[in-house]
Amino acid sequence: MKALVVMGVSGCGKSSLGAELAQRLAWTLVEGDDFHPPSNMAKMQAGQALNDADRASWLATLGGQLAAHPNGVVLTCSSLKRAYREQLRSACAGLGFVHLQLTPDEARQRVAARPGHPFPPSLVDSQFAALEDPAGEPRVLSLSATRPLIDLAADTQAWIQQETSLV
């Protein structure tokens, strides 16, 4: 496995774990949020949740990013719905997903504690409404997002090794 998506609702820790993993694995880090079209950023800043149409071109761009880094890539991307994950899988065979799970209250607290961040706490509920649990899909690791970052990174690394040795 040379490509991994760190997924989950806003505030779950995608950027934190993604950066840690990219450094440990010496893989390229692709921050999904950096690839939103300006219209998506404007919508979120205005307190409106993104819909399928808003996310479609963004996911296509992110699929291109995965394919562009065959030597190892960690992508941070909410990937809330199964169809979104399928779109990314179709761009990158063998793609793995690490799902950082936390409760709505925990997510709200984390998002509220980040003043200046473009994603408003008022949108957290819409993230949970859109979320389709990836458990049971191929190559998915679900972890509790409230565990220490170094433990999350270590468990993910062990899982990648295990998945890779099965190929």
Ligand X SMILES: Nc1ncnc2c1ncn2[C@@H]1O[C@H](COP(=O)(O)OP(=O)(O)OP(=O)(O)O)[C@@H](O)[C@H]1O
Q: Which residues bind ligand X (CB under 6 A)?
A: 10-16, 33, 76, 110, 113-114, 119, 145-149, 152
Give the Cα separation of 86 and 92 in Å (integer).
Answer: 10
In the chain, at which residue ranges do the beta strands (DSSP E only) sit? 3-7, 28-31, 73-76, 96-101, 140-144
What is the chain's percent helix, strand, coil content, to nearest 5?
50, 15, 35
Structure-block tokens of residue 115: 């003043």
Shortest separation between residue 13's beta carbon and ligand X, angstroms: 3
Q: Based on CB atoms, which residue is closest to ligand GCO, 119 or 128?
A: 119
CB burial string 101-138: b at 16+ within 10 A, e below: bbeeebbbebbeeeeebebebebbebbeebbeebeeee
Q: Cα angle vertex 56, ends 50, 57, to 5°?
A: 110
Report the partner that residue 87 touches, choosing among ligand X, ligand GCO, none (CB closer than 5 to 8 A by kind): none
Name which of 94 and 133 has its Cβ closer to ligand X.
133
Q: Which is nearer to ligand GCO, 55 or 108 (CB)?
A: 55
The C-alpha atoms of residue 143 and residue 146 are separated, in whole angstroms, by 9
Nearer to ligand X, 92 or 98 (CB): 98
Of 64, 103, 101, which is closest to residue 80 (Cα–Cα)?
101
Closest distance to ligand X from the beta carbon of 123 (Å): 9
Q: Smallest distance, Å, CB 49 to ligand GCO?
A: 7
Q: What residue number has its CB nearest to ligand X?
A: 13
Q: How far is the CB of 93 from ligand X (least distance, A)?
A: 25
Q: Rounded to the nearest whole angstrom, what is the least distance from the CB of residue 145 to ligand GCO in the complex?
A: 13
Instruction: Give the footprint of ligand GCO on this chain (CB under 6 A).
Output: 10, 33, 50, 55, 78, 80, 119, 127
Q: Which is nearer to ligand GCO, 126 or 146 (CB)?
A: 126
